[in-house]
Amino acid sequence: MNNITVTTLKWVPPFAQGLVRDLRVRWALEEAGLPYRERLLESGEQNSPAYRKLQPFGQVPVFEQEGLVMFESGAILMHIAEQSSTLLPADAAGRAAVRTWMFAALNSVEPHVQNLVAIDLFNATEEWGKLRRPAAEKFAAARLDGVAAALAGRDYLVGGFSVADLLMVTVLRFLRHTRMIDEHPVLGPYKARCEARPAFRRALDAQLSNFVKYAPAA
C-alpha cells in the first residue's frame, strides 16, 4: 500500500471548480495507478496552525505518503512521476526534457496566464484593470505562442504523453473563460487530446463530486 493522502478544499466557488491545483495531483495519481485518500479542509481550516505546519502558505494541495509530506504541485507531480513509467520517459534525455517543460509551465507560462485570469475574475470593473488587461493578454498570448510553436507537428511536448503535458494542460485550463485556448489551432486540439484521457476524467470527476456534495445550501 502507498498510503497516499491528498489534502484539498471541501468546497470552492463555481469559478474555481475544476481548476484547484489538487486536480494536477489527482490526475497524476490516476495516470500512475496509485490509489489515494482525500482529506477535505473546512472553510478557514487552511489557516489553522496545524495546517500551516504542513503548508506554510495555507494553500492546497498537501501530499502525504508514508511519512513524507510535500506541498507545491510541481514538486508533488515530479515525485509521483518518478514512480510511474507512464509519466516520465525511460531515457535520461527525455526525462530532462520533461523536467524542463514542467518548469516552463510553472515559471514561463502560468504567471502570465494567472495575471490575466486575476484581472478578468477579480478586477475587470476597476479602471486600472481595464487599462492593464490588453498588455496582460498580449504577454499571455506570447507565452502561449511559444508553447504552440514547440507543439507544431507533434501531439505532446516530449515524445508521448508525460507529466509535462499534464502540468501544461492544467495551466491552459485556467483560461477556460476566454477563447484563447479552445479556438487556438494548436493548443485547442492539444488540450482536448490530453483531457480525453480516462485518468483526467476520473480526476476531474473526483474533484467536482466533492463540490457538488458539499455545496452550501441556497
More confident residue, 114 or 218: 114
Supply 52's cell numbers.
Answer: 500551516
Distance CA 71, CA 21 (A): 11
Question: Domain 92-197 carries which CATH code?
Answer: 1.20.1050.10
Percent of the chain with pLDDT over 90: 97
Distance CA 112, CA 141 (A): 9
The segment(s) of the chain belonging to CATH 1.20.1050.10 are: 92-197
Count of H-run helices and E-run strands, the chain: 9, 4
Among residues 62, 73, 17, the alpha carbon closest in space to that of 209 is found at 17
Predicted confidence (pLDDT) per residue in 11-34, tens digit: 999 999 999 999 999 999 999 999
By the 8 A CB rule, do 34 and 76 touch? no
By the 8 A CB rule, do 6 and 26 touch? yes
Over range 162-188, report the average pLDDT. 98
Q: Report residue 1's pLDDT band, with 50, 70 and 90 as the boundaries.
A: very low
Predicted confidence (pLDDT) per residue in 119-156, tens digit: 999 999 999 999 999 999 999 999 999 999 999 999 99
- Which CATH code, of 3.40.30.10, 3.20.20.140, 3.40.190.10, 3.40.50.10210, is assigned to 4-86+199-213? 3.40.30.10
Q: Report residue 218's pLDDT band, with 50, 70 and 90 as the boundaries.
A: confident
Over range 170-178, report the average pLDDT. 98
Distance CA 84, CA 212 (A): 31
Among residues 55, 107, 92, 97, the alpha carbon closest in space to that of 76 is found at 55
Kindly give the pairing relationship between strand 68-71 and strand 4-9: unpaired
By the 8 A CB rule, do 15 and 47 touch? no
Q: Report residue 217's pLDDT band, with 50, 70 and 90 as the boundaries.
A: confident
Q: What is the mean pLDDT of the chain?
A: 97
Angle, to 10 degrees, between the axis of helix 73-81 and the axis of helix 92-103? 160
Residue 39 pLDDT greater than 60, yes or no = yes
The segment(s) of the chain belonging to CATH 3.40.30.10 are: 4-86+199-213
Helix (H, G, I), strand (E, B) or coil at 112: helix
Over range 45-70, report the average pLDDT. 97
